[in-house]
Structure 1
């Protein structure tokens, strides 16, 4: 049985009580936290910045936090989130002219790297930088809003990236972000995803423990 990692996206959490939401969802069985940063420029929404992450760290939130930057330009944001306590920083290749440089900055800080690919974004840059990538994130929806439906053609892209990772012989985690629910998580797992970023399906549930348990069971139901 492969290891399934569930990563609740706090984009769907109650912002007025974010610390408690993270504590509750982690104690209910989540493996890590996905921190969506939107700038109302690259994507049509505005969420939170590095000060929120810094405050969470000061409140003794020690869980792994993957920062997903849906923003541009990246350079200053990268440094701000590294200093604020990110464990991993993910970004979209089209948000910078210097993919290799950004990956190096993150690596030099001792932080994990990640590249995020939208549904229609080419994977071609992986050929040149895959040795510097710790995580690959495939969007199952167009970025910008939570609660969207999964784009089924993403399953083929997951299988393709799974093959790229296996051929590389590198230890890279494959994440799926957007539209994951109880009905499709088994198919997504079967296609090759390791990490399942889950938002509204968790935070709109009345029982975090129950829904996370069901998601994990379905993700393991691949044979």
Structure 2
């Protein structure tokens, strides 16, 4: 058996000493890039920024997906629109009252709008606007730090979202974010997300260089799932 996989590396976990080398290699292998943006308030950490996306764009024309972990999504959404970040994923917990306006604002700019469900947030939270979003990111770890404990019970949200999409003809993609690695490949793959975010434990820390780490990731996927790894055709920015 084989399965096309859309892999989206979490650039927060890459080795910045090898920034150019890693982006250049991944550019020809991944479906998109996942960029975590944290403000130190929504989660107790600071991470990447719109400026980082601009720097990455100098080396890659692949789709950039921003994962906002911020208390003021209105402020950050406009910055990401200004640099034409292709996908802007907002925290469901912080957009109540402005969700429709922000989604319309992103779509009016010709970009894609997504929402992120933290572990404690049920799928029902986004039902009022689920029909107009382009992506739902399901967190299977607590947000804000790499290496958090994998929360297996969150995988049921992916199954729920797939059923909702099938029953209603929705168009959103389902992304899984959190501890995608050898230990969890089988259970994650069983629920069939559309996009797999991989980070430190599943890619960047496997070996000393990105090419051999990529090959080890593929080997671990095939060993744990019994399926052949086939990379989905990479998304390029418009």
TM-score over 0.5 for the alignment?
A: yes
Q: Which runs of 4+ in 1 moved over 6 A?
A: none
Secondary structure in 2 matching 1:188: helix
Q: Distance in 2 between matches of 1:3 and 1:103?
A: 29
Secondary structure of the 1:67 match is strand
**Inter-CA distance 42–109: structure 2 relative to 1 (3 Å threshold):** same
Q: Does 1:213 align with 2:214?
A: no
TM-score with structure 2 length normalisation?
A: 0.85
The separation in 2 between residues aligned to 1:69 and 1:219, in whole angstroms, is 31
Pairing 1:74-93 to 2, within 5 Å after superposition: 74-93=73-92
Are the aligned partners of 1:54 and 1:85 in contact in 2 as well (CA < 8 Å)?
no
- Choose between structure 1 and 2 for higher RCO, CA contacts under 8 A separated by at least 6 residues: 2
Q: Give 1:194 shift.
A: 1.3
| Residues 1:25 and 2:26 aligned together | yes
Cα 1:70–1:220 change in 2 (3 A) is: farther
Structure 1 gap ranges (5+): none
CA distance 1:211–1:102, shift in 2 (3 Å):
farther
CA distance in 2, matches of 1:116, 1:215: 27
Structure 2: gaps (5+ residues) = 229-238
Calculate the TM-score normalised by the size of structure 1: 0.90
Superposed CA offset, 1:33-61 (max 9, x none): 1000011100111012212212322x242
SS across alignment from 2:52: helix
CA distance 1:215–1:110, shift in 2 (3 Å): farther
Q: How many aligned residue pairs are there?
A: 220
Please give the per-residue CA displacement for 1:62-98, whole angstroms capped at 9, x wherever unaligned: 1111110111211121111122231101011112231
Quickly say closer, same or farther: Cα 1:157–1:25, change in 2 above 3 A.
same
Structure 2 matches for 1:55-204, cutoff 5 A? 55-57=55-57, 59-96=58-95, 97-200=97-200, 201-204=202-205
